[in-house]
Amino acid sequence: MSVKRLSYVLIASTLLSGCSTSQVLENWHTPSAWFGEDNNTADSNNPLDSDEVVVAQGDEGLKKSVASGNGDQASDAPLDDAIAPELRKQAREAREKLDNPRSSQDVATSESDLWDRLRAGFQMDHSVDNARVQAQLDWYARHPRYIDRVVERGSRYLYHILEETEKRGLPNELALLPIVESAFDPFAYSHGRAAGLWQFIPSTGKYFGLTQSWWHDDRRDVIAATDAALTYLDRLANRFDGDYTLALAAYNAGGGTVSSSIRRNRNAGKSTDYWSLSLPTETRHYVPKLIALAKIFDDPEAYGIELPALKNEPFFEVVDTGSQLDIAQAAELAGVEINEIYLLNPSYNRWATNPDGPHRLLVPVEKAEGFRTALADFPTEQRVSWQNYRVQKGDSLNTIARKFSTTPSVIQQVNKLNSDLIRIGQQLLIPSATKGSETYALSQSQRLQRTQERQRDGNKVNYTVRRGDTFWDIAREHRVSVREVAAWNGMAPGDPLIPGKQLVIWSKTAQPTKNVASSQRDSAMVRKVGYRVRQGDSLSAIASRFSVNVRDIASWNDLNTNRYLQPGQSLVLYVDIRNSP
């Protein structure tokens, strides 16, 4: 099929799947949205044709923590500690009930138990006999505490996800996918720039309408991201003729990767089912993880696991707030801990909801009506705190915005400014937080502060990013890896480094300085280069061609050096263009 003809098919399928005509036309007028950089290649930003593997974040980290015996001391433990006390009480009571056989006369039990509802909608084949599935089953069976922890986290979100899964007629196994993707950590952020329960990368999130701003990140929005993820999975299932193992593989590695592997097997006369395909390592273990989890949740006793009971009831309700609202004010009005508001509304980065909307908050269902009543009686002008500020010499909207943890556009909007020009002595009205920064413990800035303050091995260096800096430059100077520098600062290696940004580096150099500036680095001309693997390529061959190290290539792309590269695989390289071919 020609690319042009394929594009018409994509447009038609998009319309049938619920995309508005305006969205299609907008994409049509942006050639790269359909064709990529030229008319001969598919656009990697189109997730249906992508060949980019999205490495899940949270699952392996929590696994390692539990396996090492530090499950309760994991870096993300406060998320679990913030769970509502009444839910913990319900879980304890439920565990006691699980010790007793169910009475056949207890008709209400199955109706009130979320696990029974989950099992009733299982559709995938759990009988597959595969070593990869068995390896995952063995691990989960040896670490029941892991299951306890992800269930405790997921208890806020599972009912809603299951509701949305059933509405679409999708297999209920997909409701367990956030365990694989993020271990149900709503703030999970991977080194591949994937965020939230469903681990959307920026391009795929944008494709499905998940917008990002200084105030918010819809990839972490429980409602919006769940809708986007299930829509994506549904389209992938349709693409692969209802085969959900292939759809799941494509969710992880991109539809283009899976289609290419199917094509290679078909041309070689081999089977084209998921278990027979040659796929990236991450993707080869991705579906087995979900199948193993589904088998455990289907029959936990068979694996020596006791599931904490969950009622078949919604955990939260959506409350219309009407306008921007301080998160601390919302917590007080709703009568809940502020961390609970953040855990149910993890898309909000700052101390308040997004001034541009959507103006809604998720709150525990038992608090919803009281919150609505309190909100109706609460003066609109007090929903955020306001401060009068007199412009001083050297001020700009940017510096003022940083000082008050807001944005220049908000200051412009509130003060009806037609431009970003301000004058000395001018009075500005600035929205600001009602409480101290430490109150907003799960805001983005506070999460980052805790990450940067965590003790690591090495000498701590406070580093200020300069123009032209790259992760590779900084990592090389301090004898650490690119991924380490990014992780220490709550970032991904692909995130932009903005001049002036403060980084924390745990340097391995003997005498680190605040800002290292070597003549070699200043004279280097390092550029980010995209490279597509060719037939016969190896890491050593590519490293030699571009005068870089194999270890660096592996670090930049999260590669296992013991695995073979796949033709067509995309790599990111940071090369000195004076030494490159």
Surface-to-core class of residue 294, CB atoms within 10 Å of its CB (0-12 exposed, 13-18 middle, 19+ buried): buried
Both 538 and 457 in one domain: the answer is no
Kindly state whether residues 336 and 266 are assigned to the same domain: no
Q: Is residue 307 part of a domain?
A: no
Q: Residue 459 phi/psi, 5° resolution?
A: -100, 125
Distance between CA atoms of residues 167 and 478, nearest Å: 52
37 lies in some domain? no
What span, in angstroms and rounded, lies between the C-alpha atoms of 549 and 551? 5
The tally of CA atoms less than 13 A away on the side-chain side of residue 101 is 3
Please list, in sequence order, all residues whose beta carbon lies within 8 angstroms of the beta carbon of residue 545, skipping any fewer than 6 positions away: 580, 581
* 376 alpha carbon, distance to own chain's centre: 34
The conformation of residue 75, written as its DSSP 8-state character, comes to T
Residues 250 and 169 in one domain: yes
| Nearest alpha-carbon partner for 314 in 186, 180, 159 | 159
Helices (runs of H) and strands (runs of E) counted in the chain: 28, 8
> Which 8-state DSSP code applies to residue 103?
P
Together in a domain, 125 and 267: yes
Same domain, 389 and 374: no
CB-hemisphere CA count at 13 Å for 240? 29
Within a domain: 406: yes
Among 422, 558, 568, CA closest to 57? 558
Alpha carbon dihedral 110, 115, 117, 118, in 10-degree steps, equals: -160
Q: In this structure, what CATH number is given to the domain that contains residue 185?
A: 1.10.530.10
Do both 423 and 540 map to the same domain? no
- Specify whether 459 is located in the same domain as 565: no
We report the CATH number of the domain holding residue 405 as 3.10.350.10
Residue 424 in any domain: the answer is: yes
Whether residue 61 is contained in a domain is answered as no
- Burial, 33: exposed, middle or buried (Cβ in 10 Å; 0-12, 13-18, 19+)? middle
| Residue that has been written with the tokens 């950590």 in this structure | 185
Whether residue 176 sits in one domain with residue 116: yes
Same domain, 245 and 371: no
Residue 154, both tokens: 């997921």
Query: For every one of its 581 residues, what pLDDT tens digit does the chain have, with 9 covering 90 and above?
Result: 443 344 444 444 444 444 433 333 333 333 333 223 333 334 446 777 777 777 776 566 666 655 555 554 444 443 444 334 444 444 444 434 434 433 433 334 445 799 999 999 999 999 998 999 999 999 999 999 999 999 999 999 999 999 999 999 999 999 999 999 999 999 998 888 889 999 999 989 999 999 998 889 999 999 999 999 999 999 999 999 999 999 999 999 999 999 999 999 999 999 999 999 999 989 999 999 999 999 999 999 999 999 988 999 999 999 999 888 999 999 999 999 999 999 999 999 988 998 888 899 999 999 999 999 999 989 887 888 878 899 998 889 988 888 887 878 888 877 888 888 898 989 998 887 777 777 887 878 788 888 888 888 888 898 988 888 888 889 888 889 888 998 899 888 888 888 888 899 999 876 555 444 444 444 456 677 788 888 888 888 888 777 777 777 877 777 766 667 888 888 888 776 555 55
Residues known to be catalytic: 181
Under a CB-based contact definition with an 8 Å cutoff, are residues 501 and 445 in contact? no
- Say how far apart CA 223 and CA 215 lie, in whole Å: 17
Question: How many beta carbons lie within 10 A of that of residue 291, not counting itself?
Answer: 23
For 100, residues 6+ apart whose C-beta sits below 8 A from its C-beta are: none
Domain count, the chain: 5
Contact 391, 428 (CB under 8 A): yes
Kindly write down the DSSP assignment for every residue of 164-203, as one continuous string: HHHHTT--GGGGGHHHHHHTT-TT-B-TTS-BTTTTB-HH
Decide: 180 and 59 in contact? Cβ < 8 Å.
yes
In angstroms, how far apart are the furthest CA atoms of the chain? Answer: 80
Do 338 and 391 have their domain in common?
A: no
C-beta separation of 363 from 316 below 8 A: yes
Whether 473 and 404 share a structural domain: no
In a domain, 216, yes or no: yes
SS3 content of the chain, % helix, strand, coil (to 5): 50, 10, 40
Burial class, 62, CB count within 10 angstroms (exposed 0-12 / middle 13-18 / buried 19+): buried
Locate tokens 């390092």: which residue? 526
Quote the domain boundaries for residue 566. 524-574
Close Cβ partners of 463 (under 8 Å, ≥ 6 residues apart)? 474, 502, 503, 504, 505, 514, 515
For the entire predicted model, the pTM comes to 0.71
The alpha-helical segments, DSSP class H, found in 425-561 are 444-453, 471-477, 482-488, 519-523, 539-546, 550-557
Residue 342 belongs to what H/E stretch? helix 338-344
Together in a domain, 177 and 268:
yes
Is 411 a member of any domain?
A: yes
139 within domain boundaries: yes
